[in-house]
Structure 1
Amino acid sequence: MKKHSILPIILDGGMGRELERIGAPFQQPEWSAHALIEAPHFVSKVHHNFIDAGAEIITTNTYALVPFHLGEKRFNEQGADLIKLAAKLARDCVDDNAKSSNKQHKNRSSSVLVAGCIPPVLGSYRPDLFSLQQAKPLLDALISNQQSDVDFWLAETISSIAEAAMIKTRTALTNKTTWIAFTVKDEITTESKLRSGESVFDAVSEIAGDNVSAILFNCSAVEVMEAALKNAQQALLAQGLADKVQLGVYANNFPPIGELREANSDEGISIIRDDVSPEKYRQFVSTWINAGASIVGGCCGVSPAHIKKLAELK
């Protein structure tokens, strides 16, 4: 097995599909929030599954805790408590893992961190739905209700520069570092673009730096990530940030997602590809590391079995 000069940081994989796989309550439009509402012990089980597979960072199960998935009424009534619960479950899993590690290996502490998930608060893959006025109170609820239990922020599946800029500004007030993960169009091209149509080069140029210490790409097909990384690397070099901002990738295991596709649409739950096995995914990850990624993991449909293969790269 090829060893890389860069030892990557290993993220976890997709929460929703792992919940479905282990038999947790799972349905649209609630997605991963359904288990949190009805059977939160399943959420803890998923966190432990990824930690056991080798993940060094687990992400709070807050992605679907927005009106887009919960509905306005439930969000207004239960949103704050559900966000707090999701963050506490992740923190408890990390604390449990640390205690277990210390018992088995005296004086060795756990290195697992908790990333506070910040989703696209008005809808995934739909930059056309973004409104600063509508998004800001939802973002602030996600921040205030989980910040005491998370180590840093991970904004996921962000489709536009405008939403990333809002997140950068609001999270800067918390004194916690922020990682922003953009989702890019599932088109094989040398000039990678966000789902808004804005170029990756422009997005990274505007967002990287200050409290944003890492730029990642997630919830897009494995085949399009290398180009996004190369464009991001060019932008960091142009801004003089290549040694200050990390790059990362955690792709999904879905077929290409088309224009105007909503995450909880009537088109149903996306199918999992049968041509991206854990071994095949690791091969893609190796190319990302060679292209400059120092943070790798998985998004929707990427299982603990996939993450276990990535941990072998260490």
Structure 2
Amino acid sequence: MFLKNKKYLFDGGSGQTLMEMGLETKGDLWSAQALLNENNHQMVVDMHKNFINAGSQLIVTSNFSVRRRLLKNYNLLDKFEFGIRSAGALALKAKNESDKKVIVAGSLPNQGVTYSPIHFETDETMFNYFHEIAKILKDYVDIFYLDVLCSIKEIKIALEASKEFNKQVLVGVHLRYDGKLPSGESLDELFETIQKFNCCGIVSACVSPEIINLSIPIFNKQKLPFGYKMNLFKELPTSNEEKFNSEGFEENYDYIDPVELLGTRNEEFGEEKYKKFVLNSLNEGVTLVGGCCEVKPRHIEAIKNLF
């Protein structure tokens, strides 16, 4: 999927971008509200098109929060399939309307707690969850994207669950303050595991600029195209050694916008600083670049001429 030595510009964070566009939601239901309510569907299409028009060559379906555990908390479990299918259909619609060569990546998100290796289901149940999502998305997407997964066990299960659909997989692994997975496993261990599957690339997913810099020399030791999706929240539970929390971030808090709890580095990382960071990383071997939470279309537009 990704050509050797070619640079690719991904999208940014769909959830926070939708909220900036006016999405009314609450807590960890987050971007799922845009998919579950048909009145918000045009907003999702516009969000994807905003990233495409800004320069994104790859967009990720916006179903990160459409997870059975989360929907159950809001008595919305019956909307699960509708939410996933809507994510695929709306991303594909945005691609087709843009009339540009865009890769659509189908999100296979963490099935436990966000930023955490903790799970509450059996391996078989996790396999079935990933398989179900992949089966729904397969007709809308070009590749699958493992979206902020936090342990080798979960990554391997997701790869096994999706392989029957014969699509390449972009591995999006979350990393903690020391460049390891939240599970404590090393990237070297992960590299060995994913060699057995049809992976087209690997990125550090939803991580701070500091962790990106820490991880680049490690990614350079393997052969797949690699890069990152930068997170610009200020206080992730995994980013600081003193505050490290393996329990991740979920519904134990009362909030509307995650920025209320996690803060933002959006002013610190304006377009010029973001561009300088990306340029430096490209010079160090990175070829896959995108954003996650708090990275908006304006950030992508600021760096499009680097690709």
TM-score by length of 2: 0.88
Answer whether contact 1:215 1:248 (CA < 8 A) is retained: yes
> What displacement does 1:209 show?
5.3
Answer whether contact 2:113 2:248 (CA < 8 A) is retained: no
Of 156, 159, 163, the residue aligned with 2:150 is 159
CA RMSD between the two structures: 1.9
Structure 1 gaps, min length 5: 99-109, 237-241
Aligned to 2:141: 150
CA separation in 2, counterparts of 1:161 and 1:73?
29
> What displacement does 1:88 show?
0.4
**1:191-227 alpha-carbon deviations (Å, 9 max, x no partner):** x201111111211222245301211101111111122
Q: How many residues align?
A: 287
Cα 1:7/1:211, change in 2 over 3 Å: closer
**Secondary structure of the corresponding residue to residue 24 of structure 1:** coil
Which consecutive segments of 4 or more residues in structure 1 shift more than 6 A? none
**Secondary structure of the corresponding residue to residue 59 of structure 2:** strand
The alignment-based identity, stated in percent, is: 25
Aligned to 2:53: 52
Aligned to 1:133: 124
Structure 2 residue 113 is the aligned partner of structure 1 residue 123 = yes
Cα 1:126/1:161, change in 2 over 3 Å: same
Q: Which amino acid aligns with 2:263?
A: I
Structure 2 gaps, min length 5: 238-244
Structure 2 residue 294 is the aligned partner of structure 1 residue 301 = yes
> What displacement does 1:147 show?
0.6
CA separation in 1, counterparts of 2:157 and 2:52?
31
Cα 1:184/1:272, change in 2 over 3 Å: same
Structure 2 residue 189 is the aligned partner of structure 1 residue 202 = yes
CA separation in 1, counterparts of 2:49 and 2:235?
29
**1:109-167 alpha-carbon deviations (Å, 9 max, x no partner):** x2111110110012211202264233122112211111101000011111100011111
Aligned to 2:240: none
> What displacement does 1:289 show?
1.6
CA separation in 2, counterparts of 1:204 and 1:136?
21
Aligned to 2:173: 182
Of 194, 211, 216, the residue aligned with 2:198 is 211
Q: Which amino acid aligns with 2:305?
A: E
Aligned to 1:103: none
**Secondary structure of the corresponding residue to residue 12 of structure 1:** coil
Choose 170-179 or 132-141, whichever is displaced more: 132-141
Cα 1:178/1:195, change in 2 over 3 Å: same
Q: Which amino acid aligns with 2:207?
A: S
TM-score by length of 1: 0.86
